[in-house]
Amino acid sequence: MAVEEKNTRCQVGLTGNSAVAYAMKQINPDVVAAYPITPSTGVMEEFSSYHADGKVDTELITVESEHSAMSACVGAAAAGARVMTATSSQGLALMWEVLYIASGMRLPIVLACVNRALSAPINIHCDHSDSMGARDSGWIQLYSETVQEAYDNMLQAVRIAEHPDVLLPVMICLDGFITSHAIENLCTLSDSEIKEFIGQYKPRHSLLDTDNPVTFGALTLQDNYIEIKRQQSQAMDMAKDVILSVGKDFEDSFGREYGFLESYRMEGADVAIVILSSAAGTTKVAVDELRRSGKNVGLVRPRVFRPFPYKELSEELKGVKAVAVLDRVDSMSSFGGPLFVETRSAMYGLENAPAVIGRVFGLGGRDYRVADAVDVFELLLNIKDTGNVDKVVDYITVRE
């Protein structure tokens, strides 16, 4: 284990779940309420060990369901606590009702979502149907490609959620088993560095502040409801500047750069794939292979899905001739997945906009291989040359 400046530890081998649990230990939140579910169970198993060993002074609440977990998080956050939890799949779905309450009450809860397919049929492996189902619940969503990014995103999420211009909950997403259970080398930070970076939480309002009484979740009818929702929407918009500012502070402090999206070999690219999370790593291998054969291909990986960085994404893609957006989830709308729909919308009105197609892949943990990415790039190159788009939306990685 190498020791670098500021006590940063590099080349530490951890799984994604272990990295998230370790970040939570270092953050030392006031309250964690959770119920275990595969594949996020390891997060809470390890964090509960830290709690049992006295390495955190967190109030750990073990509840009877994920609905209760988020309800306890809401109560604790309303009381002014720094609050975190973790879940997956049906667990997130069982929280559905309370997710909206957390965001509507402007409570800066941080949730690690280890992405897993929703039933039915029952499946414990990765796709994004859980977090994407919650995409309009008012939670900021950050998607992680690697174990390192999952760790770093947890730390940044605290600052983003608690910023006075935001005060919205944040969901950190990492791919179940692919990232959550894979061991990768990463650089962790010292407890003192993290304490300095995230600072002390000072809630704007607290139910326990009896000198300044407040009401949370009151009945609000036609006279005020839409104004409250507009303020919530404005907070999501203001989160864009905060995400960039926190990312810049993180880079200045620790040397790792984070923005809205990552561009990979987009210089002079004729065609590009847009894709989230761990599958971006597989796609990068395909990009390298095709670049070596003289084909100008590239990749854009959105790190932030809520708030959706439509301006930055359209700016990144405006010079290419054809784009494929790959979703690890289907919206069941007959018109592709959510990343495709929103990316295509971002391209609308762009002068000389590229052709944009959508492909659903990898549902329920189906392998997405380099050859699959190469096939998509070859299709895009054909669209560039011929202008012919046979199918705007389709499935790949599926047996016909």
- Rounded to the nearest 10 degrees, the angle between the axes of helix 191-198 and helix 147-162 is 40
Tokens linked to 206: 């607290």
Residues 6+ apart with CB under 8 A from 69: 33, 34, 35, 61, 63, 85, 87, 91, 95
- Chain-centroid distance of CA 257 in Å reads 16
Query: pLDDT tens digits, residue range 137-163?
Result: 999 999 999 999 999 999 999 999 999
What is the pTM for the complete model shown? Answer: 0.96
**pLDDT tens string 268-283:** 999 999 999 999 999 9
Nearest alpha carbon to residue 23 among 5, 4, 47, 41: 47
Confidence of residue 5 (pLDDT cuts 50, 70, 90): very low
- Residues 168-193: tens digit of each pLDDT: 999 999 999 999 999 999 999 999 99
Q: Tens digits of per-residue pLDDT, 309-360?
A: 999 999 999 999 999 999 999 999 999 999 999 999 999 989 999 999 999 9
State residue 7's pLDDT score. Answer: 55
Give, for 86, the enclosing helix (H) or strand (E): strand 83-87
Delineate the domains of the chain, giving CATH numbers in brackets: 2-254 (3.40.50.970), 261-395 (3.40.50.920)
Phi, psi values for residue 146, rounded to 5°: -130, 170
Written as one letter, the residue type at 137 is S
As a whole number of angstroms, the distance between CA 234 and CA 328 comes to 29
Nearest residue to 287 via CA among 184, 376, 356: 376
Q: Are 65 and 35 in contact (CB under 8 A)?
A: yes
> Cα separation of 325 and 316, whole Å?
14
Q: State yes or no: pLDDT of 1 exceeds 80.
A: no
Give the DSSP H or E segment for 85. Answer: strand 83-87
Which strands form 271-275's sheet, in the order they lie side by side?
A: 261-264, 297-302, 271-275, 322-327, 355-360, 393-395
Burial class (CB in 10 A: 0-12, 13-18, 19+), 244: middle
